[in-house]
Amino acid sequence: MSGRAVSFGVAAQAYERFRPGYPVELSDLVMAYAGRPIRTALEIGAGTGKATRLFAQRGIMVTATDPDESMLVELRKHVPARVRTVQAAFEDLRPGERYGLIYAAAALHWTRPERRWAHAAALLEPGGVFASCGGPIRLADPAVEAAVRAARAPFLDSDEIPSPDGTPPGEAMQWPGTELRRSEWFSDVRQCVIERRLTMRARDYVGLLSTVSAYRVLPAEEREQVLSQVMRVLPDRVDMDADITVHLARRVTRVDRGTG
């Protein structure tokens, strides 16, 4: 797991305060796709539980996993007691109990590609649902975006994470849908977008940036400098385009490996 992947724990409280939550449309979309009741779910990279609480409120028994205990400490403050927490990276979860749903909210890109889908399939019931959601939060005003980009430039070329499999931004199907379509373990791959617009105070937006991995891995002094530079060029309130891209897939009931 990369340094960026484990850079969040020291900012768990900031992550909880500044990262936006998820709209109920997300769980509605997943449940409608499932087409049947979901009793149990496994969450990959739960963080402070922004998505955990959404699915737990549907009565689903969620097992929330994260490699960072400080994230799980913060999560437990905000989720129902019935949510089970496990400190582990996705790759370290051993197959045993199978779940009706596995999902990741802005976390799947931190998992290793080797055997990603075979491992997910081993943790899912046949016919179970896999869901992944995420997307960049971008400043809506091009002039403000340009000013922030210039303020950030001495420290960072970009603060976004490129597609893990190199899929260009303009392609109709984005990652991880591209990988899911190629996987023998999953079918009925769908991509949906939940449109979302956010407005924040400038200071809260800078707080949000402070939780982004590209900033977290900078030396502390540089991180303070770049965030201070960004703060100087912002208006009092900032509008953001924050659409959520959701990928859904169904675990096949069996994999036909042929007779060789």
Return the structure tokens found at 135. Answer: 């997307």
Residue 7 confidence (pLDDT)? 43
pLDDT of 254 reads 74
**Residue 259 pLDDT > 90:** no
pLDDT at 5: 41
> Over the chain, what is the mean pLDDT?
93
Q: Which two tokens stand for residue 226?
A: 């770049």
- Percent of the chain at pLDDT > 90 equals 92
Residue carrying the six token digits 């800078």: 206
The pTM of this model reads 0.92
Q: Exposure string (b/e) for 119-149, b if CB count within 10 Å is 16 or more? A: bbbebbbeebbbbbbbbebebeeeebeebbb
Element (H, E) at 240: strand 237-241
**CA atoms of 143 and 253, how far apart (whole Å):** 51
Angle in degrees, 0-180, between the axes of helices 220-233 and 142-152, rounded to the nearest 10? 150
Q: Are 99 and 40 in contact (CB under 8 A)?
A: yes
What SS3 state is found at 59?
A: coil
Residue among 123, 103, 105 nearest 34 (CA): 103
pLDDT digits 0-9 by tens, 101-145: 999 999 999 999 999 999 999 999 999 999 999 999 999 999 999
Residues 6+ apart with CB under 8 A from 81: none
* Mean pLDDT (whole number) for 65-90: 96
Q: What is the pLDDT of residues 142-188, one digit of tens each?
A: 999 999 999 999 999 999 999 999 999 999 999 999 999 999 999 99
Looking at residue 43, the DSSP 8-state letter turns out to be: E
What pLDDT shows up at residue 57?
96
pLDDT at res. 2:
44
- Tell whether the model's pLDDT for residue 218 goes beyond 50: yes
The predicted pLDDT at position 201 comes to 98
pLDDT of residue 255: 62
**Helix (H) or strand (E) segment spanning residue 145:** helix 142-152
Q: Determine how many CB atoms are found less than 10 A away from the CB of residue 105.
A: 25
What pLDDT shows up at residue 105? 98
pLDDT tier at 1, thresholds 50, 70, 90: very low
Look up residue 10 and give its two tokens: 């020291």
Identify the three-state secondary structure at position 79.
coil
Distance, CA of 4 to CA of 213 (rounded, Å): 5
Domain boundaries, the chain: 9-137+161-197+240-251
Percent of the chain with pLDDT over 70: 94
Q: Nearest to residue 130, comparing CAs of 108, 115, 163? A: 108
pLDDT value at position 4?
42
In one-letter notation, the amino acid at residue 155 is F
What architecture does CATH give domain 9-137+161-197+240-251?
A: 3-Layer(aba) Sandwich (3.40)
Check pLDDT > 50 for residue 92: yes
pLDDT higher than threshold 90 for residue 8? no
pLDDT at 11: 82
Predicted confidence (pLDDT) at residue 240 exceeds the cutoff of 50: yes
pLDDT band at 61 (very low <50, low <70, confident <90, very high): very high
What pLDDT is stored for residue 131 in this prediction? 98
